[in-house]
Structure 1
Amino acid sequence: MNKICQILSIQYPIIQGGMAWVADAYLASAVSNAGGLGLIAGGNAPKEIIKKEIDKCRELTDKPFGVNVMLLSPYVDEIMELIIEEKIEVITTGAGNPAKYIDRLKKVGTKIIPVVPSIALAQRMEKLGADAVIVEGTEAGGHIGELTTMVLTPQVVDSVSIPVICAGGIADGRGVAAAFALGAKGVQVGTRFICSKECNIHENYKNMVLKSKDRDAIVTGRSTGHPVRTLKNKLAKDVLNMEKEGYPTEEINKRAIGSLRIATVDGDVNEGSFMAGQIASIIKDIKPCKEIIETMVCEAKHIMPTIEL
């Protein structure tokens, strides 16, 4: 049996990315019901908001699901307390080190899977007791590191003994097969699930992905130390120009504040931050999560008949 499926009690080793303002109970439950692992995105939301999403997800599925915790959130301590109280099956973490929470999480049986952008952090997470790590390459949407998925994944696989989940640039069975060829035991998929029927974001966001071309997923924020991959639009171009002209970080951040909500809720194609990975341009349709996952699995098995899915 696939190691990730065994650890998480899921049918397929496909994890839905914890995309802030995108990954709600409806998307997470749909992915879990389809045999993958759905995630509710914690983002910067307070405890009461996440509690409602957890309750709703439990109404919609009896399958395992998880919560993605952004460790820079001002509510991180109360979110972790909620996860422990609710005995959530699994968490993924980003933007920090979950060390101080690990012992308490393990006591209630929560599996801990940090997102890592480097070998050093992967090794540190293994020593702290992580159950697996998600290796996310710079091809991914949202906040990114520097190394590519193809380069980073095999290096981390060779450096740790816990299972590695590959993320960044995966939207079909070819990507799944490639990840497993590099030594991964599972994949995390974000952008492809944006264009799922169960994803509740504004239709303009989905259309931005469907219409995107190969060079449309660009990176802003390098000068601030917080690079983010988004689809090219007026906001992204404005931020890039501000960076080139040497604007202070505070002014650049002010220009982009609230822009993810503007994209996901309002659908403003000029002023929203449409986070998406470089793989966006191969996505040409909107399908149910079940069809997305089953198609990925069939394609991967056709390419690599020995793949352990």
Structure 2
Amino acid sequence: MSAKPVPTRITDMLGIEKPIIQAAMGWIARSQLSSAVSNAGGMGIIETSSGELDAVREEIKKMKTLTDKPFGVNVAQAFVRDPDIIQFVIDQGIKFVTTSAGDPMKYTGMLKEAGLTVFHVVPSLQGAMRAIEAGVDGLIVEGGEGGGFKNPKDVASMVLIPQVCEAVDVPVVAAGGIMDGRTMAAAFCLGAEGVLMGTRILSSAESPVHQNWKDAIVGADSTDTVFLNRSGPGPALRALRTERTDRIQKEGVENIFGEFAGTQDVYFGGNLEAGIALTGQVAGRIKEVKPIAQIFEETIEEYHRVVSGLPR
């Protein structure tokens, strides 16, 4: 039996059953994973941050054979140098795009003119107001506890989400530290109308990453991630604690992007010391690898239990 729905502006705008969006993880957020998210009632997202645009184009085509549910594409502006990707996304009939890692002014107008719904990922109130000025339909507001590339001046979700929600009228998706119904309920109490999951979906049964990474997440404590490259050059990021990332945290590196040369060995070969495994603090709460449909169903059921049990 399916859990009782949670209708919000997010579900209405995106045409999805559950107000859960999947993070656009480079190399990982492709058709195998993203179709499972869409088929489970959430919003699957195809990544572009790998920069492998020919592969991305094929993954978008594959999605249409794997799901008849809505899905979207992320345009990671710092990693996508080919402006033709925007026209390609439009030509493929995509209805929802998230933009990130860049100025929302760059593509929002073009996407909106083509009739697409656009959400921008922001790590600060200033970023949120810039995205509102650009004309976005919604925001993904990401706290510093989330995995991946971060604002070096990170702000925790508990502070950032209500700060943004109090300042804007568009719907907000909360990201960073979200993995179940309890955290979804907390995000909604802070003003969000949807949630984005990264590490929880990364460690799901359908995730294409190596079992070693999933096992490391399941075995992690909440202190088993590190915040790297806060002083630059290049972006800051949050990653799984390993001997390699401990060393980078202590000694720094001249070029953080050089540490990603072994990404394929980390993600799909299971050698967690070959590079950087981008992972959020919420790994400390994940205790089991589960199918995405089960994760989502349990999330919605727990959400309702938590909300109904709040003091009146």
TM range (shorter): over 0.9
Q: What is residue 262 of structure 1 aligned with on the other side?
A: 265
User: Is residue 96 from structure 1 mapped to residue 105 from structure 2 by the alignment?
Assistant: no
User: Is residue 198 from structure 1 mapped to residue 206 from structure 2 by the alignment?
Assistant: yes
Equivalent positions of 1:133-282 (< 5 A) are 133-145=139-151, 146-225=154-233, 226-243=235-252, 249-250=254-255, 252-254=256-258, 256-282=259-285
Q: What is residue 51 of structure 1 aligned with on the other side?
A: 57
1:203 Cα shift? 1.1
1:193 Cα shift? 0.4
CA RMSD in angstroms comes to 1.7
1:180 Cα shift? 0.2
Single out whichever of 210-219 and 168-177 deviates more from structure 2.
210-219
1:74 Cα shift? 4.0
CA–CA distance in 2 between the matches of 1:140 and 1:9?
A: 26
CA–CA distance in 2 between the matches of 1:106 and 1:208?
A: 41
1:89 Cα shift? 1.6
Single out whichever of 25-34 and 107-116 deviates more from structure 2.
107-116
CA–CA distance in 1 between the matches of 2:278 and 2:41?
A: 25
1:202 Cα shift? 1.1
Q: What per-residue deviation string (whole Å, max 9, x for no partner) do you get for residues 89-108 of structure 1?
A: 21111111132322321233
Aligned length: 301
TM-score by length of 1: 0.93
Identity %: 38
Q: 1:287 aligns with which of 287, 290, 296?
A: 290
CA–CA distance in 1 between the matches of 2:20 and 2:82?
A: 26
User: 1:119 touches 1:156 (CA, 8 Å); kept in 2?
Assistant: yes
Q: Which amino acid aligns with 1:297?
A: I
1:128 Cα shift? 1.5
Q: What per-residue deviation string (whole Å, max 9, x for no partner) do you get for residues 111-131 of structure 1?
A: 111100111221221122101
User: 2:263 touches 2:275 (CA, 8 Å); kept in 1?
Assistant: yes
User: 2:148 touches 2:238 (CA, 8 Å); kept in 1?
Assistant: yes
User: 1:47 touches 1:82 (CA, 8 Å); kept in 2?
Assistant: no
Q: Match of 1:199, SS? A: coil
1:306 Cα shift? 9.8
User: 2:148 touches 2:279 (CA, 8 Å); kept in 1?
Assistant: yes
Unaligned runs of 5+ in 2: 1-6
Structure 1's consecutive aligned runs of 4 or more residues displaced over 4 angstroms after TM superposition are none
CA–CA distance in 2 between the matches of 1:4 and 1:191?
A: 21
| Larger helix proportion of the pair | 1
Q: Which amino acid aligns with 1:229?
A: R
Q: In the superposition, relative to structure 1, how do residues 175 and 259 fare at CA in structure 2: closer, same or farther (>3 Å)? A: farther
CA–CA distance in 2 between the matches of 1:173 and 1:199?
A: 20
CA–CA distance in 1 between the matches of 2:263 and 2:52?
A: 17
User: 1:70 touches 1:76 (CA, 8 Å); kept in 2?
Assistant: no
CA–CA distance in 1 between the matches of 2:265 and 2:288?
A: 23
Unaligned runs of 5+ in 1: none
Q: What is residue 123 of structure 1 aligned with on the other side?
A: 129
1:262 Cα shift? 2.5
CA–CA distance in 2 between the matches of 1:135 and 1:259?
A: 29
